[in-house]
Amino acid sequence: MRQVVEGGALDTILLEMEAIPEERLTQYLSLATGLPPASKNETDVFDAGAVKSCSKELAESYRVAPLALTESVLRVLVCEPVDLGKLEELANEVGLGLQPLVVPEYRFHVIQARAFGSDVSARFTALAEKQQGVTF
């Protein structure tokens, strides 16, 4: 019911309700998508090369957040729902191997905003502060 009223992904609702720890939720997202999870430490980086390889327009179109570029592999964050076909298209478009890592919806939006210098919604900012103990 809360999801219908407030919107957002189920993982966001569960974190807001403090129904499950983020680490466990991320493990469940990994199992559901078949993609490896990204740890908090892995998302605490900024790689200008990754951002240069995947423009804001591409990132928004393919629902990814560029994380890191190593050799010829672009690591990106994704959140539910994940479209593996679109990720293959993105790999072809950027001409790099792609390694998607799944994270909760709020973390995806925070990292994407950080990568491109855009604003994060108040909802995701509040959840990030609650989960990470940091202010934005």
- First-last CA distance in the chain: 29
Is the Cβ–Cβ distance between 100 and 89 less than 8 Å?
A: no
Average confidence (pLDDT) over 80-102: 96
Q: For residue range 40-68, what is the model confidence (pLDDT) as tens digits? A: 888 888 899 999 999 999 999 999 999 99
Position 4 pLDDT exceeds 80? no
Tell me the pTM.
0.89
Is the Cβ–Cβ distance between 45 and 88 less than 8 Å?
A: no
Tokens of 51: 């951002």
Average confidence (pLDDT) over 28-38: 96
Percent helix / strand / coil, the chain, rounded to 5:
50, 15, 35
